[in-house]
Structure 1
Amino acid sequence: MKALIVDDEARVRKAVRLLVNWETHGIDEIEEASGGFEAIERMRQDKPAIVIMDMMMPEGSGVDLMAAVNEFAGTIKFIVVSGRGDFDFVREAVRHGGIDYLLKPIEPEAINAAVAKAAAQWRVEEKERSDRQKQSMRLNEFKPVYGEKLLTALITEPATAQAALRRLREERLVPEGARAARLALMQVDAGDRQLHERFAWDSELLHFAIINICNEFLLPGQKGVAFRHWGAPTEIVIALWEEVDQMPAVLQAINEGLFVTLQRRIHMGTSMPGAFPDALPTQYDDALTALWRRNMMDANHYIHLFEEAKSGSRIAFAEWEEEWKVSALSGNEEQLAAASELWLEAARSSGYLSPQMLEDYKTDALLFCARMIRDAQGRHAADEETLMILEELAEKSPHVNAAVLSLQDWREWSRLLLMRLSLAIVQRQTQEKAKMSDIAAFIEQNYQAELSLQDIAKRFFVSREYVSRKFKQEYGINITDYISGKRIEKAKLLMVNPNLRITKIAEMVGFHDEKYFSKVFKKQEGISPKAYRLGETE
């Protein structure tokens, strides 16, 4: 068992350490915190059973601290220490989970009695929690896999729904009198590491536990049933065919049951009532829509009705594409950070942000990055490398359906995305510049040979279009004119030798037609090769 001592005075923390007979109470780990913020962080990391805290601290009162962690850590037993005997303080401490209130100076007998009481109460509650969890994990009376597949078929295979319904009624999984139903849908947060760690990252076991808890509220009296959607591994469906108008209240009760057992509440989307089983496919879509359009900025609302869902709210990422482009090309960290927050800040300011909006934002941002990278790399050469970069960035994104919205996580992902894009562009520009230099050097060494754009592209493993476009960007001239220019420069040097005929010179620099050589020479120099030679020799 772990304990945490919270006081802004080191001497008080030391005194508590010395006064309590920790081993007697079965406490083998003692941590300390000097203020409220540090205490919250310690509670997240160490999960103490008992917290002994001062009522008054610079970062806020002990009551404030208890209120802040009450939802997060409802299993902690608080012992409050104070120099004041004010009844209001005592009442607030008890209301937020404090089981004892000690006045300073602390007496050894009093604090040991309080710790003994807290430890005993924590053990009792821990055993109850363990028993509830074991009970919730027991097998349901119906055959889970067979039943879940049949129930899923009612949603996904309307053509065979009546056959599936007959088998479900034969197995007594659906009551004979069910003629109307209402559907709810919950999605387990794949990013909740703490919850998944409790189940050793076994998603089957986690879903099994959640479904059993739901069915403890639904199976008695055959009100309905909870089952796993076999076409969507993260989704749990709740079908209610009794008291369909009371579905929000039933879901609220289920969520409280989930919180008691798992210390989690789960977001649920609901459909309108409809004919059973004909309306189930539409009801499923409606419940999913309610989940995807829920306002993630309302942290205390878990039951989302389809009839209250907003329709098609969207803040277009395209409005900020230019800022993203400019910052990515600049490579400036401050510009990158500022641009990466623009869409998120607009969404936050609107007061409404849904999973669908985050999914659209993520998709639009990744597509924008793909276009930018392809433009920088050349369409033919970029596909494989682009896909690898985008897959890496997509995997690092926060979960759009997270139970709790973290704008900071999305800001950080957006910043990393934009910085990675900028880095890819800069790296590619550097590579392209080096590649164009290599092509220019190759032309310098092989100007006299038969050089075509196709041959050069093939030699350097790029497309003709890519070479043509990038070479002109780098040198301000198309590659064919560049080759001709190099040949004319060499020809001018050879013309100094009076023993070489112009036909021979043309052949030596890569022209096999003297007339064409003369045409190109005159176009570049303004005079014919013969006139140029006469001028050079005079």
Structure 2
Amino acid sequence: MKIRVLVVEDEPPIQRSICQKIEESNENFKVIAAIDNGKDAIQYLIEHPVDVMFVDMNLPIVSGKEILKFCYSEKLPVLPVVLSGYTDFEYVKCAVANHAVDYLLKPLNSQELTILLQKIEARIRKQQQEEKVQNLTDAVKGLHTLQTKETRPEMDPSYSMLLVTLGACPYENERNYRELFEKLDLGGNFSQIVPKENFWLVNGKNINEKIIFVRRDRVPDINHLNQFVRSLKFPGLTITVVFYKEAVKMTDIFATYHLLQKYAREHMIFLKNSVLIYSPEGFKPDFTGLREKIDSLILQCNNMSINNITGSFADLLHLFTVRPVTQKEAVRNIKYFVSELYKVHQGHRGFFEVEEDIQFILENYYTEEELLKEFDFLLKDIFGIEVYDSRDKKLIAVKMKNYLDEKFRTNVTNQLLAASFGFVPSYLVSIFKACYGLTPMDYLVTKRIDEAKILLADGSLKIKDIASGVGYEDSLYFSKVFKKFTGVSPKEYVKSNK
């Protein structure tokens, strides 16, 4: 799209020369109007969108100085370039005060003009990109985006959408998804199949999601999408991409985004990165014979020792990886496997309690090796010899609480707790929750929010410093968590305390 230029100059020969030089110096600029007085120029600016204005300071009726003041006071989205035959200090001062891009002397120097136009183009393209991303972000959030004279509306804009999801569940306190996305470099990898100017990367409402909007004339095919996903190598996390092939208008983005979220939850593949093409009917994976094979494994466990039972669980995981099985189907069958074991072996803990542990493990670990380690410990804890009595578990929970009270300002994770206390994360989560009614990560957030309330009530520190002081590097993320737990933003909390 051409960059729209208004030239305001009262001397016809100079006006024609300026218009010609602008279009010759950079083909991406188009002079859409040339006006010889300040009054008509202001009227034109009110009625028409303009990107750049070259304005002479000495104009009849209304001066260039008054035009600059008008643009600045009305916050018009136009970049002014001041033209003058003089180096008068007052003109320069006026140009600076009203945020002019530059101050050029007449007659225009071609080399200076070319450099200036390049600088202006880079600035405008960057602004257009930011506006595009903001409009798409607002659409994802369900906010109504109004077209004004300050925006550059497209003719019936429509896009193709891709939802990128890390893992199966956005445990906000367990993983730093912002850092993970930075390491994955989605934009850089996607630009290998679609040029950067033809797609926009936007945050989803969940922190483990990103949305890619692609111009309809540059939609990649399935082979290129598979190439894109193969380039996203990150150990310990599955990556699911849901592709909506049909055209999506701006007004339909919010609804389509929710369709893709639901589709990802229903159809993401267990322990594998995948590209899914959205279909209203969904795909129908073939699970024929799967339950019979699981029942056969359970039957083998009747007279087995606990060590052999964990070996059977390894066989169960293998069943889910030799062919694509959805995350949902795998979770359902793993819970079924453990519940059936209760019928042939006496467990030390009730299945209802254990079911939460199973859910936690399957939403936090995404490799066979990690799952085998976690379930080996869990199954031995349920069906093996009970090594730790309730007093021992209480002592471990108390030590964890003391550890969290001391370290809450640092980046504590369940994995770090496991390394510190010598047990798998799911076991530590279960005994801490049994003792305190919260998971360690929920307790950690509660501790941070309580400390933040004290610092906010004091009123002497900036929100950014408070966020850092209670363990959040990202102040925006801190504000989101604070509002989730308290119902108000940090700023609103400060005002209410005042």
TM-score (norm 2): 0.38
Q: Which has the larger radius of gyration?
A: 1
